[in-house]
């Protein structure tokens, strides 16, 4: 990394996460400005040698300053999400057939690693509290992801008697088609979740969203406007939110429209990259 930086002589070197940041040694004398970008509440030792820091939420930036980083060198820039790429003709019908989805089923999508912070166990419990049908249509929950809690989650679904309603899609390199076929995106993460890109993905795909009010969601989601928000770790509230949105097509449509507009205005590639360009120019002296 040091040889590459010397050869390219950039004005800015930006790193993401601890390993990449550790590989960039502090420059002595004249050299590039090193920006370290953080997407979570990590141990700060690998990051402190950088010249400036970017946090992907305002709450994270406040935490960085509270933990000793200079406020004048901590900057906030959100993540961006690209516009959806329409799946090829026939892809969604083939995917529904692969998963065994009934023609008339509501498709609830939850995407994320099977780890405690993603809160899937509360979503499974919420599903067990819901009626078998809403507006005359059966429910199916597609869990997109994998991880160490997979076995426990499957056992929980069996114990709750909802094996038929839960479809395990595994890890997929392209989650887009799953968002494309979803009627509702559910994101049940716990307080420790930093931002929650699934919120941005749901908005980008024009899908109604039920999300828990973890710290990232409190910062970007607006209850009843662009998302239906419920307390963390509250299966009954989660179930009530799912039923409310699926039973009210006008509410669902209004929320998706506002979500799509917010992505275009605040979380699209162009506004976020413009923020990066402005910051680079500022730190590199114009």
Q: Do 9 and 71 fall within a single domain?
A: yes
According to the model, what pLDDT value does residue 265 have?
96
Q: Do 122 and 201 fall within a single domain?
A: yes
25 neighbors 179 (Cβ within 8 angstroms) = no
Task: Give the whole-angstrom CA distance, residue 207 versus residue 260.
Answer: 9
According to the model, what pLDDT value does residue 285 have?
85
Q: Do 99 and 210 fall within a single domain?
A: yes
Give how many domains the chain has, as a whole number.
Answer: 2
Domain hosting 178: range is: 91-266
Task: Give the whole-angstrom CA distance, residue 266 versus residue 205.
Answer: 15
Q: Do 261 and 129 fall within a single domain?
A: yes
Q: Do 118 and 234 fall within a single domain?
A: yes
| CATH code at position 160 | 3.40.50.2000
Q: Do 236 and 167 fall within a single domain?
A: yes
Contacts of 170 (CB under 8 A, 6+ apart): 144, 145, 146
Which residues does the chain have with pLDDT short of 70?
Answer: 27-29, 286
Q: Do 260 and 277 fall within a single domain?
A: no
Q: Do 55 and 114 fall within a single domain?
A: no
Q: Is residue 86 part of a domain?
A: no
Q: Do 163 and 146 fall within a single domain?
A: yes
According to the model, what pLDDT value does residue 27 have?
66
162 neighbors 124 (Cβ within 8 angstroms) = yes
Q: Do 128 and 58 fall within a single domain?
A: no
56, exposed or middle or buried, with CB in 10 Å at 0-12, 13-18, 19+? Answer: buried
Q: Do 225 and 96 fall within a single domain?
A: yes
Q: Is residue 98 part of a domain?
A: yes
DSSP string of 233-251, one letter each residue? T-HHHHHHHHHHHHH-HHH
Q: Is residue 254 part of a domain?
A: yes
According to the model, what pLDDT value does residue 227 have?
98
Q: Do 16 and 63 fall within a single domain?
A: yes
Q: Is residue 85 part of a domain?
A: no
According to the model, what pLDDT value does residue 201 have?
97
According to the model, what pLDDT value does residue 28 have?
66
Q: How far is CA 157 from the centre of its chain?
A: 24
DSSP state of 227: B
């Amino acid at each position: 990394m040091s040889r590459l930086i010397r050869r390219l002589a950039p004005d800015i070197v930006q790193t993401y996460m601890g390993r990449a940041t550790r590989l960039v040694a502090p420059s002595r004398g004249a050299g590039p400005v090193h920006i370290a970008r953080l997407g979570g509440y990590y141990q700060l030792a690998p990051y402190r040698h950088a010249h400036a820091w970017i946090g992907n939420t305002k709450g994270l930036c406040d935490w960085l300053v509270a933990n000793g980083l200079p406020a004048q060198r901590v900057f906030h820039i959100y993540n961006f999400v690209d516009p959806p790429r329409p799946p090829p003709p026939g892809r969604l019908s083939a995917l529904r057939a692969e998963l065994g989805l009934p023609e008339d089923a509501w498709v609830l999508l939850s995407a994320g690693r099977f780890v405690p912070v993603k809160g899937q166990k509360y979503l499974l419990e919420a599903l067990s509290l819901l009626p078998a049908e809403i507006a005359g249509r059966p429910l199916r929950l597609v869990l997109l992801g994998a991880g160490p809690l997979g076995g426990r989650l499957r056992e929980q679904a069996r114990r709750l008697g909802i094996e038929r309603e839960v479809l395990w899609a595994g890890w997929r390199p392209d989650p887009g088609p799953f968002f494309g076929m979803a009627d509702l995106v559910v994101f049940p993460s716990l307080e420790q979740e930093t931002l929650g890109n699934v919120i941005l993905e749901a908005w980008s795909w024009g899908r109604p969203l039920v999300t828990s009010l973890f710290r990232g969601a409190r910062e970007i989601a607006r209850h009843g406007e662009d998302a239906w928000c419920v307390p963390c770790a509250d299966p009954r509230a989660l179930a009530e939110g799912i039923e409310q949105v699926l039973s009210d097509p006008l509410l669902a449509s209004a929320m998706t429209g506002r979500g799509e507009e917010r992505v275009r205005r605040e979380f699209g590639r162009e506004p976020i990259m413009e923020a990066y360009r402005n910051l680079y120019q500022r730190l590199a002296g114009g």
